[in-house]
Structure 1
Amino acid sequence: MEGVIHIPAGERGVIRLFALDMRPEQAAFLKEPGALAQVLGIEALDMDQVEVFPVSDLEDIGLTGYLTEGCGVPRAQVEEDRAMLQALEGHVLLIRSRAFEGKETRLTPADQIKLIGTYGERRTNWSAPPETAESAKPYSAPKLPPRTARSQARRIGAGLFAVVMLLIALLIWVLVT
């Protein structure tokens, strides 16, 4: 099927950019609940993960800057489409893959909505070498003797009690005067 955009289940970190060939009033209407989902041919969409805006709002940063600096798209991906992105006018639609809530989805956008590009957000590298320092080992902190621990707990408790009593006294004084 031509014009169908397949979103696989569990997709993460993908941004789709669409050009909107419509009047500003129509583009603004897409922000209403259910309107955008209807023109995309789906039942529901998380509108917190969707942006509809005129390209002119980006002023000096431009669409390429917004994608790289604002959305975290690697610069190399955007450079391939720089000329096309700079030539865009009117309103655009930006949809993050989180808008589909991890469900497999088939978009059938209306004729006024044209897919411009699909971009991937930068991925965080969560790998790290194992920590070998002695202080990083579990239960490696020096253990306080029981008397010292009780004494410290009493001091903290007495401090909190004094602060609460002071606040109560202040509240009573304010109410009386």
Structure 2
Amino acid sequence: MSDLTFPPEHAPRSIYVFALDIEPVELPAWEPEGAAADWPLPAALGVESLDPEQVEVFPSDRIAEYGLARYLTEANGMSPESVAQSAQTLEAQTGIIALVHSRAVAGKDGHFDPAHPARFIGRFSEKASLTASVPPSAPETSIGVISGGATPDAPTPFPWRIILIALIALVVLGGLLWSLA
């Protein structure tokens, strides 16, 4: 039952996985998109309410090529260690799957108490990291001035010389054409 208890606020982020024994035609009523007051998922999981933005409900065949275990680790950031023990069970799931992120019950005390048609599959957590990241030290070759890019020099003056030479060339050309005519 401890896997069904809502984790304290300081616990790592978790995902609760449930199977829903419903027919595919019933799926739209269970999906969190546009969840109404009569959304059946919270009651089936034994909770008062869920944040629908933190819940995913989908047919298992939607991620069949990817796999549920891989979906939890790679797409949802769950620790591979927390998923590894249940990988075979996760991959054997067929039908409708409900993923409830711990934020769906954030700030609430209690536990899930699933009843038909919901079945608890497992709770998976991200890897907790309490170490501060230290920026890498710069090699000595990178110390100094960065060359290239914009410089704070004065703007380039307008090319009056080029315009003057072009104007003189036009006058000479015009004079030559006038004399030939």
Report the AA paired with residue 72 of structure 1. G
TM-score by length of 1: 0.64
Which residue, 100, 104, 110 being the options, matches 2:105? 100
Determine the C-alpha separation between the residues in 2 that align with 1:131 and 1:81: 37
Determine the C-alpha separation between the residues in 2 that align with 1:62 and 1:128: 32
Hey, which bits of structure 1, 4+ residues long, moved more than 2 A?
8-12, 25-28, 31-34, 38-43, 105-108, 122-126, 128-133
- 1:61 equivalent to 2:66? Answer yes
Partner in structure 1 of residue 4 of structure 2: 5
Q: How far does residue 105 in structure 1 lie from its aligned partner after superposition? A: 2.5
Q: How far does residue 63 in structure 1 lie from its aligned partner after superposition? A: 0.6
Q: How far does residue 48 in structure 1 lie from its aligned partner after superposition? A: 0.7
Richer in helix (by share) = 1
The residue matched to 2:5 in structure 1 has which SS?
strand
Question: Identity rate of aligned residues, in percent?
Answer: 33
Report the AA paired with residue 85 of structure 1. L
Q: How far does residue 125 in structure 1 lie from its aligned partner after superposition? A: 4.3
Moved more, 34-43 or 83-92: 34-43
Give the count of matched residue pairs.
133
Determine the C-alpha separation between the residues in 2 that align with 1:23 and 1:15: 24
The residue matched to 1:107 in structure 2 has which SS?
coil
Partner in structure 2 of residue 27 of structure 1: 27
Report the AA paired with residue 33 of structure 1. A
* Structure 1 portions without partners, runs of 5+: 134-177
Q: How far does residue 47 in structure 1 lie from its aligned partner after superposition? A: 0.6
1:59-138 equivalences in 2 (<5 Å): 59-125=64-130, 127-128=132-133
TM-score by length of 2: 0.62
Q: For the aligned residues, what is the CA RMSD? A: 2.8
Report the AA paired with residue 6 of structure 1. T
Determine the C-alpha separation between the residues in 2 that align with 1:78 and 1:131: 31
- 1:47 equivalent to 2:52? Answer yes
Quick one: structure 1 residues 65 and 128, their matched pair in 2 at CA, closer, same or farther if it must change by over 3 Å?
A: closer
Quick one: structure 1 residues 28 and 105, their matched pair in 2 at CA, closer, same or farther if it must change by over 3 Å?
A: farther
* Structure 2 portions without partners, runs of 5+: 139-181
Quick one: structure 1 residues 106 and 59, their matched pair in 2 at CA, closer, same or farther if it must change by over 3 Å?
A: closer
Q: How far does residue 124 in structure 1 lie from its aligned partner after superposition? A: 4.4
1:96-144 deviations in Å (ceiling 9; x for gaps): 11001221123222221111111002334451459999xxxxxxxxxxx
Report the AA paired with residue 103 of structure 1. K
